[in-house]
């Protein structure tokens, strides 16, 4: 089975994540960074690491994990804009991104 999303796609995080995740960011847009299986090879294609987008600036301001597939709604299936935002974020932080070492 394949993951529902690919790296770089834009998603909206659900407004309500449930009691156990009430401290997580919700109701905002994010970029798919990777699914757990992509990074760790364990077969888990339902847990996601995301790059959160500031609604005022349109830039990434933080990376967070682990959201579940059913908590995410696809907004834009074209990953190009999201990948560019992630590259810019990682360059600003002075580190290599997952994109570079996953090729």
Per residue in 37-52, pLDDT tens? 988 888 999 999 999 9
Nearest to 47 by CA among 69, 28, 25, 14: 69
On whether the CB atoms of residues 65 and 48 are closer than 8 A, the answer is yes
**78 lies in some domain:** yes
Count of domains forming the chain: 1
Please state the pTM of the whole predicted model.
0.88
Say which residue the tokens 């999303």 belong to: 5
**2 lies in some domain:** no
Model confidence over 49-71: pLDDT tens digits?
999 999 999 999 999 999 999 99
**4 lies in some domain:** no
Domain that holds residue 68: 10-101
What pLDDT score was predicted for residue 45? 95
């Amino acid at each position: 089975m394949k993951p529902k999303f690919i790296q770089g796609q834009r998603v909206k995080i659900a407004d309500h994540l449930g009691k156990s995740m009430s401290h997580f960011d919700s109701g905002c847009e994010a970029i798919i960074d990777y699914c757990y299986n992509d990074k760790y090879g364990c077969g888990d294609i339902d847990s996601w690491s995301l790059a959160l987008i500031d609604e005022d600036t349109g830039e990434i301001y933080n990376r967070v994990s682990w959201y579940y597939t059913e908590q995410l709604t696809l907004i834009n299936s074209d990953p190009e804009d999201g990948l560019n935002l992630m590259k810019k974020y990682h360059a600003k932080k002075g580190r290599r991104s997952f994109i570079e070492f996953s090729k």
